[in-house]
Structure 1
Amino acid sequence: MNVEGRVAVVVGGASGMARATAAAILARGGRVAILDLATSAGAEVARAFGNATTFHPCDVTDFAGTESALNDAVEAHGGLHIAVNTAGGGVAERTVKKDGPHALESFQQTIALNLVGTFNLNRLQAWHMSRNEADVEGERGVIIDTASIAGFEGQIGQVAYSASKAGIVGMMLTMARDLGSLGIRVAAIAPSLFATGLTAGIPPEREATLTAGSAFPRRMGRPDEYARLAIGIIENPMINGTTIRLDGGQRFAAR
């Protein structure tokens, strides 16, 4: 899909990989609706990006509120062609701890945020895209979700997070098959450790320890590297129904 003149919704777009992706879409002539928490820097980022960008407060665990925010974004821009979803988080908790079993509530909360929240976005985004006029190749939209290499080899204490991200991986082919007749593609990016949020300011020696298992480069990923892959997925019509690891050859050890 050609980015120029297209409308993108970038969830989590106030910071990190999603912000970098929003900037890359704008640089190619697209328009962007940033969806992020009301407490985020989303409004400031949208103002800094200029008139082609709007901000819509959104908590992806508020499913009705997410639908409303997405409707507002589509109304503001007159359509939806590209969706990039990065919102998520997790807990560090073993299946059995010294004081008892893994809390069921924290497991459910992680699944609700990462997996249910992502699917809720996907189903709503695909519905809006289904009403687009198809381009010359029959394409109506592209959805990009964010998994994690923890969905393939999670570490000790990541059982909830790994399960939620593995669920995103598991959705890709089936959802692509569901949406293929509508000309909507779906793919996921599975990053390793990226320099975003809390990890952006860790000391170099700690970064070296965390990325020692990488083949090359032996460092954390950078937000613009996620953005470059997202643009590649958007522009390459043969990428569909799959999850692409973005990890420098890193495989997480048990701890």
Structure 2
Amino acid sequence: MKIDGVAALVTGGGSGMGAATARHLASLGAKVTVLDVNEDAVLAVANEIGGLGLVCDVTDAASAEKAFAQAEGAHGAARIAVNCAGVAPAQRIVGRDGAMPLEAFRRVIEVNLIGTFNILRLAAAGMAKLDPTDSGERGVIVNTASVAAYEGQIGQAAYASSKGGVVALTICAARDLARSAIRVMTIAPGLIGTPMLLGMPQEVQDSLAASVPFPKRFGRPEEYARLVQHIAENEMLNGDVIRLDGAIRMAPQ
């Protein structure tokens, strides 16, 4: 798919990988709508790239539907949708205070898995109405999982479960939407230098970075964004998960 001139939508676009993706797609000529629950952040990124910034709770059907209607009114239906919204709290199943509250587990599933599906279903519905491109494609949806889907650490039961769900969704959604010429791919990042990691003490950052076989550093949000570009441009990438992790395999803790 040619990115220049198409409408694109990025959730979690107020910071981290989402913001980097919004900036990168805009630099390639896409008309970008940025969605985030943080109003100040989403408007700042949108103003920076000349895009549309909208407050959206990906777990809420009405909030997402309203955002999609506004985005379509401004740019037309998106041909590229990228799911970067997510949360990553850590909590043991049984800790000092007893069992992990069920609501804590539920919240992570709602944001990371149900939120991803909420955006996927709406993006796909909009793409299905579009005329196909010269190659016959209507759109591409890129979801974000994590290496925790495969080797989640202690304290990541909720996070690993949510991201494992995103991984499992990938091939199912790609097969479901193939008749509409819509591709679905997932990126599973490892240690990416987002504000959460970069806010840790330097000695902790150094230890984590040293655990990456090569290159021995955190991934950069811009590297995630460039992978989104490649997925969009390479039509044979469909129904699979790409690990972006420097060959790391996470230890139990």
Aligned counterparts of 1:155 and 1:174: Cα–Cα separation in 2? 26
How far off is 1:184 after superposition? Answer: 0.2
How far off is 1:66 after superposition? Answer: 1.2
Letter in 2 for 1:180: A
In the TM superposition, 1:199-214 aligns within 5 A as 199-214=197-212
Are residues 1:168 and 2:166 paired?
yes
Aligned counterparts of 2:98 and 2:41: Cα–Cα separation in 1? 38
Aligned counterparts of 1:108 and 1:250: Cα–Cα separation in 2? 28
Aligned counterparts of 1:194 and 1:93: Cα–Cα separation in 2? 20
How far off is 1:49 after superposition? Answer: 1.3
How far off is 1:38 after superposition? Answer: 4.1
TM-score by length of 1: 0.96
How far off is 1:129 after superposition? Answer: 0.4
How far off is 1:197 after superposition? Answer: 1.9
TM-score by length of 2: 0.96
**Does the 8 A contact of 1:16 with 1:223 survive in 2?**
yes
Mean CA deviation greater in 224-233 or 198-207: 198-207
The DSSP-based 3-state class of the residue aligned with 2:210 is coil
**Does the 8 A contact of 1:13 with 1:34 survive in 2?**
yes
Name the counterpart of 1:49: 49
Structure 1 spans left out of the alignment, 5+ residues: none
Name the counterpart of 2:29: 29
1:101-156 Cα offsets, whole Å, 9 max, x none, are: 22111111110110001001100110000001001221000000110001110000
Letter in 2 for 1:26: A
In the TM superposition, 1:14-163 aligns within 5 A as 14-50=14-50, 53-163=51-161
The DSSP-based 3-state class of the residue aligned with 1:152 is helix
Structure 2 spans left out of the alignment, 5+ residues: none
**Does the 8 A contact of 2:88 with 2:108 survive in 1?**
yes
* Pair 1:40–1:146, CA change in 2 (3 A): farther
Aligned counterparts of 1:18 and 1:70: Cα–Cα separation in 2? 17
Name the counterpart of 2:188: 190
Aligned counterparts of 1:34 and 1:40: Cα–Cα separation in 2? 12
1:138-175 Cα offsets, whole Å, 9 max, x none, are: 10000001100011100000000000000000000010
Q: CA RMSD in A?
A: 1.2
Aligned counterparts of 1:191 and 1:215: Cα–Cα separation in 2? 14
Aligned counterparts of 2:125 and 2:138: Cα–Cα separation in 1? 11
Aligned counterparts of 2:64 and 2:14: Cα–Cα separation in 1? 16
Letter in 2 for 1:147: A
Mean CA deviation greater in 55-64 or 163-172: 55-64
Name the counterpart of 1:11: 11
Work out the percentage of aligned pairs sharing the same amino acid: 47
How far off is 1:203 after superposition? Answer: 4.5
